[in-house]
Structure 1
Amino acid sequence: MSTSAVLLDVRDDRVEGEVQLPVDRLAVAVDRPLTRESVLGADRTFLKRYTAAHIAALGDESGDRPWAVTLGSGSVRTIDGVAHLVYPLELRPPDGRVTTFRLRYDVIVEELLTHKVVVTVRYDFDRGILKTDDAVTLGVVDFDTESLEVPAGEGSWLRGFATTAALGIEHVGEGADHLLFLLMLLIPAPLVAAGGRWRAAPSARCGIIRVVHVVTAFALGHSLTLALAAAGVIDLPARPVETLIALSIAVSAVHALRPLVARGEVFIATGFGLVHGLAFASLIGDLGLDRGSLVITLLGFNLGIELTQLLVVALMMPSLIVLARTALYPAFRVGVALIGLLFSVSWMLERAALTSSDPFEGIQTWLVEHPLLIAVTVAVLAVVAHRHFQRPAVGQGDRQRPRRAAVRW
């Protein structure tokens, strides 16, 4: 049997949400032959008035003053195969401050004794409820239980901050394109460009400094556009942004094959970091944040992104630095860069709607789901290469020159 639903978004000065009423149950309750057309036509005014009259809210700190209840324009939506009349809902406390309140609700329930209403909080920043996966079901309203207590004004900004940081970690950790872009930038970091080719850096310290420059440049780039886009200053369609992200991977892969410009990975990280920031902002935009929680969300989300990047660097960079000083690194660098180039071209074609699907999606998903296995594999390769494929020292004489030439890319 179909049920009603009340979805609540708890904010600082109001509670928003929506009411979902199954048309077939609503017809029984009001004793009218309702259809998808009539609920928005001849019966529209009656049904809106009826629904509003059976919803009330009373806060613990507002005395006997009820909250203002406002319903928006109704629409018909098919939910779980059943037509529902859906109203946007707004509850405003008389003192302008949302605290724990009691929701009284008996739409349909007053006449149909077997009907159930599921009440869910889908957003409450201070309690760390920010997206669908975090939604908390408060309980069920029926004929015997006509009201529920809705906790609000609880928790703290720290919980919201921690939740948004976890969102940043999740977004990058599950984003194959962001991870691949970072990897493409790290591959040439232990090297130096000389004569249009990549050569080993004079020391490990030099490679570490270059990695710091790359990570910092990327952080600055995506942080800038993330803040601007989240504040509404920049607004670009998702498809061009996603296509540009794929292009950024292709450019960084080509740079890993052969240097486009000296220290080019720093410029690539900065420039395309701006594009990646727009993609990060799309997730924040979907949260429907209050202006008061926007700054905290940006800080938390950015922290999550940076922690994930630092984890990737910590897992991969020691092995890359060791590998870069062996004769195997040219082949490793070219192989990984070609894979990155192949994936990025496939993404560009799909995101530009030139192809219907990505043939490498299964492989990409597997790689993202097994980061530790990849890190261990590269570490083992680094140990083997260090022991058996050391580059000959500079100045070892003419006997070593043919071998050095053989391994140069």
Structure 2
Amino acid sequence: MRLTHAIPATLALVFMTMVTAAPAMAHKASDSFLYLDLDRSEIRIDVALRDMELLVRMDRNRDNSITWQELQARRAAITRVVEQGITLSSASGAACSLAGQQWGVSRHSDGRYVAGLYRVNCPAGEAPARLEYNLLFDRDTLHRGLLEIRQDGSTVLTAMAPDKNSIRLTEQTTGLWTTFASFTYEGVVHLLIGLDHMLFLLILVLPATLVTTRSKGDPEASLKQRVIQLAGIVTAFTAAHSLTLALSALGLVRLPIAWVETVIALSIALAALNVAWPILGRKTWKLAFGFGLIHGFGFASVLSDLTSGTPSLAVALAGFNLGVELGQLALLLVGFPLLYMLGHNHLYQRAVVPMILLGVGTVSLIWVAERATQI
């Protein structure tokens, strides 16, 4: 096989393997919520029931539904797992103990969470100065612990991750830069691990990379024209999802996350169909803007469950949105030149592109079916 044929064939194989092997991921990532009040020496921890089920078997009858009775029966085991996953210590390095105050179930945008409120007791009456979080990281490296720290009337938001599982609390309350930097990073990660968003971007960009009969004789004009087309698509998608991300994260507009995830999956399938049969029109930027509105609600699922009405939330929102854009830009800087180069290859146009559209459309419809059952 010639090299010009080997590259698109290899690309198709890698892409189809990735798509077909990928789990039907819900857009809402695995998150827990930690609310630390240093003035009151209290910490509240909320862990999704679906995540806690990975650590403590609660669904005894295997009916995919956890009742209050099943939850109560495993309370001791749940409490033990949570307390082992969170460590607080004083400035001297002495371990602080957690004394349970309240226990029950809370509700976030993606369902029910087991919630516990603890009093933090450090030796010699010291204040907690360091927090280490290790819950679920050994089961899911994409899991995040979203942490809110309150002290002296100020609030800081940050995220705990496998490579950032320990923080000095005194350093976290000195300003808003930590919040901005932390959520900028999380925005990049969220875009790059969100397979549904990545596939949607791929389908949006794909038409701008394919050679048409009209443009074959003028490659310079063709490239310029396609870059302008790409800029319009990216601008429309960015404007749309930034708008709804802000509206949702600030609590001005809220939509059920299960409904949002289902429509996101449907948007990918429709976008793939539209490449082959432009039932929604050839104005790709309009498609990007329309579906970008619903994708913004999906992005907001990371932030919307944190306490609203604080200056830190606005900073977190700005940082997260910047991170999403940086991740999107990184994908385009790598992907567009490669796809444009392949767009001149006959095998790529006639075989690889149809395989991509078929694979993306099939996986998206599977997501629609699975997510629709959660509505």
TM-score of the superposed pair, with normalisation by structure 2: 0.58
Cα separation, 2, equivalents of 1:351 and 1:223: 24
C-alpha spacing 1:256/1:199, structure 2 compared with 1 (3 Å)? farther
Is the 1:223–1:277 Cα contact (8 Å) retained in structure 2?
yes
C-alpha spacing 1:217/1:193, structure 2 compared with 1 (3 Å)? farther
Task: Name the SS of the counterpart of 1:203 in structure 2.
Answer: helix
Q: What letter is aligned with 1:320?
A: L
1:157 shift after superposition: 1.8
Aligned length: 259
1:163 shift after superposition: 0.7
Task: Name the SS of the counterpart of 2:158 in structure 1.
Answer: coil
1:338 to 353, 358, 364: 358
Larger RCO, structure (CA 8 Å, separation 6 or more)? 2
Residue deviations 1:151-186, cap 9 Å, x none? 266443222211101111111111110100000111
Residue in 2 that maps onto 1:245: 264
Residue in 1 that maps onto 2:247: 228
Task: Name the SS of the counterpart of 1:220 in structure 2.
Answer: helix
Task: Name the SS of the counterpart of 1:188 in structure 2.
Answer: helix
User: 5 Å matches for 1:174-323?
Assistant: 174-191=193-210, 203-288=222-307, 291-323=310-342
User: 5 Å matches for 1:4-403?
Assistant: 9-10=36-37, 17-18=43-44, 74-75=102-103, 86-87=116-117, 104=125, 122-124=147-149, 129-131=158-160, 134=164, 136=166, 151=170, 154-191=173-210, 203-288=222-307, 291-331=310-350, 332-353=352-373
C-alpha spacing 1:315/1:120, structure 2 compared with 1 (3 Å)? closer
Cα separation, 1, equivalents of 2:305 and 2:196: 20
Task: Name the SS of the counterpart of 1:285 in structure 2.
Answer: coil
Q: What letter is aligned with 1:17?
A: I
Residue deviations 1:113-162, cap 9 Å, x none? xxxxx976843498773347555377xxxxxxxxxxx6266443222211
Percentage of matched positions with identical amino acids: 33
C-alpha spacing 1:283/1:232, structure 2 compared with 1 (3 Å)? same
Q: What letter is aligned with 2:158?
A: I
Residue deviations 1:253-293, cap 9 Å, x none? 01122333553321111011111110111101234356111
Q: What letter is aligned with 1:349?
A: A
Larger-gyration structure (1/2): 1
Cα separation, 1, equivalents of 2:301 and 2:338: 34
Task: Name the SS of the counterpart of 2:252 in structure 1.
Answer: coil
Task: Name the SS of the counterpart of 1:123 in structure 2.
Answer: strand
C-alpha spacing 1:257/1:127, structure 2 compared with 1 (3 Å)? same
Cα separation, 2, equivalents of 1:86 and 1:316: 45
CA-atom RMSD in angstroms: 4.1
TM-score of the superposed pair, with normalisation by structure 1: 0.54
Q: What letter is aligned with 1:348?
A: V
